[in-house]
Amino acid sequence: MKELSAGIDLPSKLEDALIDLGSALPAWSVEGTFLADSTIEQYRTKLASAPLFNETRGTLLATLNGTGAGYAVVRLRNIADALGIGEQFLRLATAILAEVATPFQPFQRWPLWKEIGTNLNANPGLSTGTGYNAFHMDLVNTTQPPDYTTLLCVRPDPLGAGASILSDAHAAVSRLAPSSRALLAEVAFSYGSFYELSDVGEEYKPFPVLDGEPADLGFVRFTAKMLAESGLDEAHAHAARELADQMVAGQVSVTLQRGDVLIVNQHRWVHGREPLAEGQQDVAPEERRLLLQLFLRSAGATGPVTS
């Protein structure tokens, strides 16, 4: 398995300036599910004064889009050490992410940053479980999924496991036979429920894995969990399993450390997690792995025509 290479380390001058900015950024406001435009402008003005921020922003955008990697890990570890991961740090992280696209939280019952903790009683394959979380894109069953999903590491697995995994979905598709790609382009797949969601369009069920859109606009609508959905015939299930195998074959990994922010362009990559280490029952709940998740919406995003 390859180690993820698209890491972005901030220059020390910029780190120092951002630490100083930590106490200067105001609390955010939201408009519906989205970070308010007024907050974005306030944050942008503050960040613009930080030395080397514009250059770092350019590197980040180039990494995430166009011919760049399509994913990035922004390493804010030194800032986390200085500020802790509380309100000041979250404002900084939110401000940086707002330079990529607009932060929002489509789950109505959660705040802007949604906790993904470790629950020993959860299904091991879920995001809060302790087992292997297979490749997927977030909100696969909506007509307008988030353009980016982001994960902030508050605490890594103290036992050293639980690496995040990613795979280039389009590269995986390109390795399939034309017959398999034709099956994946059919409106035959489904997964999950549509409950208490906002600003992600409508429920998309069934959906095609391959929507025929250009790579920067469409999605490879994949979640390995859809293989367990009833009603999927053997031909379509076989094609989806082939795609899952190709995703595993091309995966990269990174073990996030405290203060790391993983940003994934969902138009290009799927993500998941390796199992946490055995012995989680011996780790105090307040010391177990904890991530925070935030979604991003690009301007002008549209969804598929479903009628």
Within-domain flag for 174: yes
The mean pLDDT of 239-248, rounded to a whole number, is 98
Placement of tokens 């166009």 in the chain: 66
For the chain, what is the domain count?
Answer: 1
**∠ CA 213-211-196, rounded to 5°:** 110
Task: Report the C-alpha gap between 261 and 240 in whole angstroms.
Answer: 30
What pLDDT, in 10s, does the model give residues 13-30? 999 999 999 989 999 999
Task: Report the C-alpha gap between 263 and 166 in whole angstroms.
Answer: 11
Q: Are 276 and 162 in contact (CB under 8 A)?
A: yes
Task: Indicate the residue type of 296.
Answer: L
For position 231, what pLDDT does the model report? Answer: 79
Domain at 195, CATH number: 3.60.130.10
Q: Looking at the predicted structure, is the pLDDT value of residue 306 above 60? A: no
What pLDDT, in 10s, does the model give residues 46-82? 999 999 999 999 999 999 998 889 999 999 999 999 9
Q: Looking at the predicted structure, is the pLDDT value of residue 305 above 60? A: no
Q: Positive or negative CA dihedral for 246, 249, 251, 255?
A: positive
Q: Are 254 and 164 in contact (CB under 8 A)?
A: yes
Picking from 170, 222, 226, 216, the residue whose alpha carbon sits closest to that of residue 193 is 226
CA atoms within 13 A on the CB side of 300: 2
Q: Residue 83: which residues within 8 A CB-CB, separation 6 or more?
A: 19, 22, 89, 92
Within-domain flag for 258: yes
Per-residue confidence band for 195, with pLDDT thresholds at 50, 70 and 90: confident
- Please state the three-class secondary structure of the chain as a single string: CEECCCEEECCHHHHHHHHHHCCCCCCCCEECCEECHHHHHHHHHHHHCCCCHHHHHHHHHHHHCCCCCCEEEEECHHHHHHHCCCHHHHHHHHHHHCCCCEEECCECCCCCCEEECCCCCCCCCCCCCCCCEEEECCCCCECCCCCEEEEEEEECCCCCCCCEEEEEHHHHHHCCCHHHHHHHCCCCECCCCCCCECCCCCECCCECCECCCCCCCCCECCEHHHHHCCCCCHHHHHHHHHHHHHHHHCCEEECCCCCEEEEEECCCEEEEECCCCCCHHHCCHHHCCEEEEEEEECCCCCCCCCC
Within-domain flag for 290: yes
Within-domain flag for 112: yes
Task: Report the C-alpha gap between 192 and 225 in whole angstroms.
Answer: 9
The total number of residues written for the chain in this structure: 307
Between the alpha carbon of residue 148 and those of residues 43, 228, 237, the distances in Å are 20, 26, 27
What pLDDT, in 10s, does the model give residues 108-163? 999 999 999 999 999 999 999 999 999 999 999 999 999 999 999 999 999 999 99
Within-domain flag for 200: yes
Within-domain flag for 215: yes
Within-domain flag for 288: yes
What's the token pair of residue 264? 């994934």
Structural domain that includes position 123: 2-6+71-84+107-297
Q: pTM for the whole thing?
A: 0.95
Within-domain flag for 119: yes
Alpha-carbon torsion, ordered 275, 281, 282, 285, to 10 deg: 90
For position 35, what pLDDT does the model report? Answer: 98
